[in-house]
Amino acid sequence: MEIPPDTRLVALVGDPVAHSLSPRMHAAAFQARGLPWAYIALRVAPGALRDAVAGLVALGFEGANVTIPHKVAVCDLADDLDLSVRRCGAANTLVFREGRVVAHNTDVEGFARALAEAGVEVRGTAATVLGAGGAARAGCAALGEQGVRRVAVLARDPRKAEALCARMRGLFPGTAFEGYPLEETWLRTALRNCDLLVNATPVGMHPSSDQSPLSEGDWLRPEVVVFDMVYNPPHTRLLQQAREAGCRTVGGLSMLVHQGAVSFELWTGVQAPLDAMKRAVGLLPAGV
Ligand code: NAP
């Protein structure tokens, strides 16, 4: 395939990157908008991140997505940090402008837009978040921004849950963030007292798609909305349990598309073609 010399380039930087849906999604988006842009996945080992980012800038790339394991380390390499990054301490998008590297975290807005698109109003409600890593930070920041009343964060290392909650309490004093161990008793108590459950752990992700963070689906009340950030497979065991319990569900592909749409708009200044991006990741059937 010929890549003309005036093609504008965006990279995905991570390790591994082979499984990512982002190259397909952004290629479809550039094509739908008629933009002469290309998106390339580059496997970058942890020790090579600094050279890789400097190299992308030197080569005239427009920006990049950053994924595991670089989302935290890349913050130290940026010249400017967007508010979303300062809140989460992690970045997933870089924009290169006049030699400067600006870091953003579009997972925050992507999660919020996915909730809104599903018609889930969270202001004043109570949420339970499973996990205390990068995705959980983004989810908690979005829930704090939206005026959620209380967020219980459950993690297998409760010190990480508490550290995340301490950070969020400083940012969003109107929301009560509380950290707990990710154990059956705490989980069942949290589920009895929440309106929204967010899985921000990789439990249930391919190849362990028979697993769920809930050993029993009947811990769920039908009033709870269940949001699984895992998108591979799109229909996780947790979402299946939630549907069987009569809960509304939101899958991770929706967040993937919306965080990608925000990144696309930051790089190009053009409104993202959501339907083309949804078709590319299988969220809409071809031809819709
Ligand atoms: P991360 O930074 O590595 O954090 C993962 C969190 O899950 C950590 O708290 C980790 O605990 C916990 N965890 C890992 N394995 C676990 C297990 N077996 N049981 C209980 N807890 C476990 O990863 P991340 O970036 O937050 O990603 C988490 C998930 O969200 C992944 O599946 C990722 O694909 C998904 N995600 C989706 C989107 C989207 O657009 N839909 C965006 C971002 C992330 P420890 O700290 O103790 O290891």
Q: Does the pLDDT value for residue 251 go beyond 90?
A: yes
Of all protein residues, whose CA lies closest to atom 19 belonging to ligand 1? 203
* pLDDT score at 47: 95
Q: Does the pLDDT value for residue 283 go beyond 80?
A: yes
- Say how many Å lie between the CA of residue 198 and the centre of ligand 1: 11
The model's pLDDT over 173-226, given as tens digits with 9 standing for 90+, comes to: 999 999 999 999 999 999 999 999 999 999 999 999 999 999 998 999 999 999
Asked about 71 being catalytic, the answer comes back as: yes
* 138 burial via Cβ count (<10 Å: 0-12, 13-18, 19+): buried
Distance between CA atoms of residues 12 and 55, nearest Å: 13
Residues 6+ apart with CB under 8 A from 39: 9, 10, 11, 12, 22, 23, 26, 27, 30
- Say how many Å lie between the CA of residue 15 and the centre of ligand 1: 15
Cβ of 89 closer than 6 Å to ligand 1, yes or no, is no
Cβ of 131 closer than 6 Å to ligand 1, yes or no, is yes
Q: Does the pLDDT value for residue 1 go beyond 90?
A: no
Q: Mean of the per-residue pLDDT values for the chain?
A: 97
Pocket test for ligand 1, best of 105, 156, 258, 283 (most atoms within 8 A of CB): 156
Tell me what percent of the chain is helix, strand and coil, each rounded to the nearest 5. 40, 20, 40
- Say how many Å lie between the CA of residue 1 and the centre of ligand 1: 36
* pLDDT score at 217: 86
Cβ of 160 closer than 6 Å to ligand 1, yes or no, is yes
* pLDDT score at 94: 98
CA 178 to chain centre: 21
- Tell me which residue of 231, 201, 39 sits closest to 133, measured CA to CA: 201
pLDDT above 90 covers a percentage of the chain that reads: 97
The model's pLDDT over 80-130, given as tens digits with 9 standing for 90+, comes to: 999 999 999 999 999 999 999 999 999 999 999 999 999 999 999 999 999
User: Is the pTM of the predicted complex or chain greater than 0.95?
Assistant: yes
Which member of 70, 71, 87, 137 is catalytic? Answer: 71
Pocket test for ligand 1, best of 26, 113, 201, 214 (most atoms within 8 A of CB): 201
* pLDDT score at 288: 64
